[in-house]
Amino acid sequence: MTFFNFLFKNSDLECPRCLGKGFVGPEDIRRLNKQLKWAPGPCAYCDASGKVTEELLSKVAVDTTYLTIDLPESEIEKIKNGDPETIEKGKLQELFIDNLIQYIEHQYLLKNMDAESIADLYLSTEDENAVFSVEKENLLQYIRKIIHLKNSEPN
Ligand SMILES: [Zn+2]
């Protein structure tokens, strides 16, 4: 007698985010174009198992930026279940980061400003009521990363 193994076949798909490694490394981050948004770590898409279900693939985009391992378990569950409020929150966060990247690139490329000046300018114009706010030290690190990436891009 055999069990209905075909029922579970779907859970045997290789995770497209980490390519089955269970870990998202620098090359995966580059492949998914998230250099400024993710750091290497265990894969949140497959929960570090390397395997995913067809259901997950159809419900959650593999490059959903907000879905990372540093979120609380409950938050990850909500994203995977398509909770609208959580998904909206993720979109807002990504929009904030996209705008920040654009701002920094603009100041650096068009105004030739250095990281320190860009950070000061950004913080001086930051809305006091902003939903997301950043620490100067972290912002500086982030600006340097963006500048580094810009300089290593092929022309
Ligand atoms: Zn994975």
pLDDT for the residue numbered 48: 95
Q: Output the CA 54–ligand 1 centroid distance in Å.
A: 13
- Whether residue 12 has pLDDT greater than 70: yes
pLDDT for the residue numbered 125: 86
pLDDT for the residue numbered 9: 53
Cα separations in angstroms, 37 against 19, 26, 124, 127, 128:
19, 12, 24, 22, 24
Q: Output the CA 62–ligand 1 centroid distance in Å.
A: 9
The pTM of the full predicted model, rounded to 2 decimals, is 0.80
Q: Output the CA 42–ligand 1 centroid distance in Å.
A: 8
Q: Output the CA 34–ligand 1 centroid distance in Å.
A: 15
Structure letter (DSSP) for residue 108? H
Q: Output the CA 82–ligand 1 centroid distance in Å.
A: 18
Q: Output the CA 49–ligand 1 centroid distance in Å.
A: 7
Q: Output the CA 52–ligand 1 centroid distance in Å.
A: 7
User: Model confidence over 16-56: pLDDT tens digits?
Assistant: 999 999 999 999 999 999 999 999 999 999 999 999 999 99
- Whether residue 10 has pLDDT greater than 70: no
Q: How confident is the model at residue 5 (pLDDT cuts 50, 70, 90)?
A: low
User: Model confidence over 76-109: pLDDT tens digits?
Assistant: 999 999 999 999 999 999 999 999 999 999 999 9
Q: Output the CA 4–ligand 1 centroid distance in Å.
A: 26
End-to-end CA, the chain:
62
User: Model confidence over 119-146: pLDDT tens digits?
Assistant: 999 999 887 777 778 899 999 999 999 9
User: Model confidence over 101-119: pLDDT tens digits?
Assistant: 999 999 999 999 999 999 9
- Whether residue 153 has pLDDT greater than 80: no
Dihedral of alpha carbons 74, 94, 56, 14, sign: negative
Give the C-alpha separation, 121 to 106, whole Å. Answer: 12
